[in-house]
Chains A and B, each alone.
Chain A
Amino acid sequence: MNREQRDNAITRREALRRALFGAAALTFLRPGSLLAQSPGKPPRAKSVIQIWMWGGPAHLDTFDPKPSAGYDFCGPLTKPIATNVPGVQIGQLLPMLAQQADKYSIIRSMTHGVNAHETASYLVQTGRQPGRLVFPSAGAVMSLFKGYDRGYKGRVPPYIVLTEPQGRFSEAGFLGQAYKPFATGGDPNKPQFAVEGLVAEGISDERQLRRRELLHALDTLGRTLPGNELLAQFDQCEASAYELMFGDTRAVFDLSQEKDDVRDLYGRNTFGQSCLMARRLVERGVPYVTINYKGWDTHKQHFQIMNRKLPELDRGMAALLQDLSERGLLDSTIVWWGGEFGRTPRVQWEPPWNGGRGHHGACFSSVVAGGGFKGGHVVGATSERGEVVAERPVYPHDLIGSIYELTGIDPEGPLPNARGLDVCVLPAEKDGLPSGGRLVEIMPS
Chain B
Amino acid sequence: MRALKLVVPLVLFLCVAQAWGQTPSREPHVGYIYPAGGKRGTTFRITIGGQFLRGATAAHVSGDGVHANVIRHYPPLRNLSQEQRVALREKFLGLFQARLAEMAEQGLVEGESIWRHLERISERGRRKNLENSESAAPADLPEHALLYDLESKSLRELLHIRYMLQQFKKGQRNAQIAEAVLVEVTIDRNAPLGTRELRIETNQGLTNPMAFEVGILPEIQETEVDDSRIADLLPKEPPLDLPVLLNGQIMPGDADRFRFRASKGQRLVVETSARQLVPYLADAVPGWFQATLTLYNAAGSELVFADDYRFNPDPVLCYDVPADGEYELEIRDSIYRGREDFVYRISVGERPFVTSIFPLGCRTGQKRFVSADGWNLCADRLFIDGQSDPAVGTRQKPLGQGKAASNPVTYDVNMLRARAEAEPNDDVEKAQRVLMPGIVDGRIEKPGDVDVFRFKGDAGDEIVVETIARQLRSPLDSLVRLIDAEGNVLGWNDDCEYKEGFLHTDMGVLTHHADSYLRAKLPDDGIYFVQVSDAQAHGGEEYAYRLRLSPPQPDFELRATPSSINLRAGLAAPIRVYASRKDGFGGEIEIAFKGDSHGFSLGGAKIPAGKDSVRITLNAPPRPLDGPVTLRLEGRAVIAMKVVTRPVVPSEDMMQAFLYRHLTPSQELMAAVRGGGRLGRNIELADKTPIRLRAGSTTRVRIAAPPHPKLREVKLALDQPPQGIALSNLAVVDGGLAFELTAGPDAQVGLADNLIIVVSTAVQRGQKNNQAIAKPRTELVPLGCLPAIPFKIIGP
Contact = CB atoms under 8 A, between A and B. Distances in A.
B166 interface: no
Interface string B768-782: 000000000000100
Nearest to B27: A350
A72 B23 CA distance: 10
A352 B282 contact: yes
Contact of A349 (B20, B25, B50, B283): B25
B442 interface: no
Max chain A C-beta neighbours (<10 A), residue from B21, B175, B177:
B175
A126 B185 CA distance: 57
A350 B25 contact: yes
A70 B31 contact: no
Interface string B24-66: 1101010100000000000000000011100000000000000
Contact of B659 (A71, A349, A359): A359
A300 B25 contact: no
A125 B82 CA distance: 49
B283 A71 contact: no
Contact of A71 (B17, B50, B52, B177): B17
A70 B18 contact: yes
A258 B97 CA distance: 61
26 contacts: A67-B18, A69-B18, A70-B17, A70-B717, A71-B22, A71-B780, A74-B18, A76-B21, A78-B19, A116-B659, A299-B658, A347-B24, A349-B24, A350-B29, A351-B50, A352-B31, A352-B174, A352-B175, A352-B177, A352-B283, A353-B283, A354-B175, A354-B176, A355-B24, A358-B658, A359-B659
Interface string A54-69: 0000000000000111
Given A74-B18, A353-B282, 8 more contacts: A67-B18, A68-B18, A70-B17, A70-B22, A72-B22, A351-B50, A352-B174, A352-B282
A295 B176 CA distance: 21
Interface residues of B, number: 24
Max chain A C-beta neighbours (<10 A), residue from B52, B174, B176, B658:
B658
B51 A354 contact: yes
B29 to A, nearest CB: 4
Contacts of B176: 351-352, 354
Q: Which 8 A-B pairs have the closest CB atoms?
A: A70-B18, A352-B176, A351-B176, A349-B24, A71-B22, A351-B29, A352-B283, A349-B25
The interface residues of chain B, by DSSP majority, are classed as mixed
Interface size class of A (residues with CB under 8 A): 20 to 34
Contacts of B22: 70-72
Interface in A401-439: none
Given A351-B176, A353-B282, A359-B659, A78 B25 contact: no
Contacts of B21: 71, 76
A48 to B, nearest CB: 31
Nearest to B281: A352
A11 interface: no
A355 B29 CA distance: 15
A351 B17 contact: no
A78 B659 contact: no
Given A351-B31, A352-B176, A354-B51, A359 B658 contact: yes
B283 A299 contact: yes
A115 interface: yes
A316 B231 CA distance: 53
Contacts of A347: 24
B282 A71 contact: no
Nearest to A351: B176
A70 B727 CA distance: 14
A72 B19 CA distance: 11
B17 to A, nearest CB: 6
Interface string B245-286: 000000000000000000000000000000000000011000
Contacts of A78: 18-19
B64 to A, nearest CB: 30
